[in-house]
Structure 1
Amino acid sequence: MFIRNESFKDFLRFYPVISTLVTIHILLWITTEVIPLSFFMELKQLGVGHNGLIKSGEYWRIVTAMFFHFGLMHTLFNSFTLVLFGPALETMLGKMKFILFYLLTGVGGNVATLYLAHDFVIHAGASGAIYGLFGIYVYMMMYKKHLMDDQSSQIVKVILILGLIMTFLRTNINIYAHIFGLLTGFALGPLLLHNVRPFFTGTLKRYAVDDNEIHFDPDRWRKKRIPWKKIVLVLFWGAILTLVILEMFVR
């Protein structure tokens, strides 16, 4: 479910919503921090979450804050997590339901921040929606076990536990967005997962047509099978561990 083995072209084609969200994250980071353009800098000032300004009437910040991030690691960590855990759910729910789910979980985290944090708190990032993904996966593990295989369940458990530990140990973390994004995702599970089919990467691939004829391959003995699944799995856990360490000690 979560081991990505699509080509870049196929990823864009199969998961257009995830691709668009990640593109927005990266472009906003580039235009506000790498090559700071005045228009986008002003846009960020108008878009990030600010509890005092939201309470004074700038309610759009509850939504727009989901798309801005503070720093490279913040941007990469949320985008990378979305790339890993978002595609399966986008395929299972469909584009429109996934967009609705993403917005509701992100808004749920930001609304909780609005009412539980101080007025001077400034926040940004897709963390509420990211934890919303984990929330609905937890619901699957508890009540829709046929939708997830054991390996995927173990991956969710490990990453969620690490994420929650960092949530409470690190400073400058929006605890409310994490926790209430998670709870919102869990609460939406029974509403959005009705009659949903399990995700299988094989169903997305185009297979070659079998013409029922025997073909001779003169180079068949030279070809060696490469254990791509093992390589991808090692790279996956290596990337996760690297990001976790960087998130804990660099930012």
Structure 2
Amino acid sequence: MINKDHAITGATPYQMINVGALSHTSPLWAFIISIFVHVSFSHFIINIIMLGVLGHVIETEYNNYIYITIFFVGGLLGNITGYLLSDTAVISGASGSIYSLLGGFAALLIINKTINFHTNKALIILLLLTIMIGITYTAIGEGVNIMAHLIGLLWGFALPIFLYIIGNIKQYILK
């Protein structure tokens, strides 16, 4: 069981596995459930803040289905990658999902022609600052699933770009 001290300082890998974190001894459902299991309260709070900020933008700019697809597939791909690359990893948290939302946010700068530096200076600076902080945290953080972050970021960026290209091809064909 995880007591209140471990909720603040971080649970042990064994405790994390007992509450749904992904390991090589986990059942298949842990690939999804582990997205909602966090090592500590601070890990949870950081992910919730990022989810609130990025999730609102992604859901507003795209739609609910794309938002949910970016979030869950990004987290799942990150978990699968971490699982395949390490025999000893205990994987938990929504970081792969959060980074996929960050990738979707970055894709907006290419897709949405109304977003430009002069009218959205603060938004673009915030995005770049968030990416820099995320990369720094990924590089220096202990026990961070770097591949989940990278795979999530790439997925979140690629899906909206792909859908945008497909939409343009459909419009061109229908003309």
TM band (smaller chain): 0.7 to 0.9
Mapped contact 1:62–1:110 kept (Cα < 8 A): yes
TM-aligned CA deviation for residue 150 of structure 1: 3.0
1:137 matches 2:110: no
How do 1:144-183 and structure 2 match up within 5 A?
144-146=111-113, 148=115, 149-183=120-154
**For the Cα contact (< 8 Å) 1:32–1:44, is it kept in 2?**
no
One-letter amino acid matched to 2:141: R
TM-score by length of 2: 0.77
Residue 144 of structure 2 aligns to a residue whose secondary structure is: coil
Q: CA RMSD in A?
A: 2.6
Partner secondary structure for residue 53 of structure 1: coil
Checking the alignment, whether the CA contact within 8 Å between 2:70 and 2:104 is kept in structure 1 is no
CA distance in 2, matches of 1:147, 1:60: 41
Matched, 1:88 2:57: yes
Contact 1:106 1:181 in 2 (8 A): yes
Q: Is the 8 A contact 2:138 2:144 kept in 1?
A: yes
Question: Aligned letter for 1:183?
Answer: L
Are residue 64 (structure 1) and residue 37 (structure 2) matched? no
| Residue in 2 that maps onto 1:127 | 95
What is the percentage of aligned positions where both structures have the same residue?
25
Equivalent AA in structure 2 for residue 81 of structure 1: M
Runs of 4+ in 1 over 3 A off after TM superposition: 31-36, 191-195
Deviation at 1:97, TM superposition (A): 2.5
Amino acid paired to 2:25: L
Q: Equivalent residue of 1:59, what SS? A: coil
In structure 2, what is the Cα distance between the partners aligned to 1:92 and 1:193?
A: 12
**Equivalent position amino acid for 2:76 in 1:** V
Q: Is the 8 A contact 1:93 1:192 kept in 2?
A: no
Distance 2:18 2:162 in 1: 35
Q: Which residue number in structure 2 is paired with residue 106 of structure 1?
A: 75
SS in 2 for 1:111: helix
Retained in 2: the 8 A contact 1:69–1:124? Answer: yes
Using the TM superposition, give the Cα deviation of residue 80 of structure 1 relative to its aligned residue in structure 2, in angstroms: 0.9
Q: Counterparts of 1:1-251 in structure 2 under 5 Å?
A: 33-34=3-4, 45=18, 47-50=20-23, 52-54=24-26, 58-116=27-85, 118-141=86-109, 143-146=110-113, 148=115, 149-193=120-164
CA contact (8 A) 1:48 1:123 kept: yes
Please give the per-residue CA displacement for 1:106-155, whole angstroms capped at 9, x wherever unaligned: 11111111122x212101000001101111122222x2242533321111
1:134–1:185: 8 Å Cα contact kept in structure 2? yes
Which sections of structure 2, spanning at least 5 residues, go unmatched?
A: 7-14, 168-175
Distance 1:130 1:122, change over 3 A: same
Query: CA–CA distance in 2 between the matches of 1:100 and 1:32?
Result: 31
Deviations 1:6-65 (A, max 9, x none): xxxxxxxxxxxxxxxxxxxxxxxxx955499xxxxx996262111x125xxx22211111
Number of equivalenced pairs: 154
Q: Deviations over 1:161-197 (max 9, x none)?
A: 11101111121211111111111111112244577xx
CA distance in 2, matches of 1:145, 1:98: 16
CA contact (8 A) 1:93 1:193 kept: no
| Structure 1 unaligned blocks of 5 or more | 1-30, 37-41, 196-251
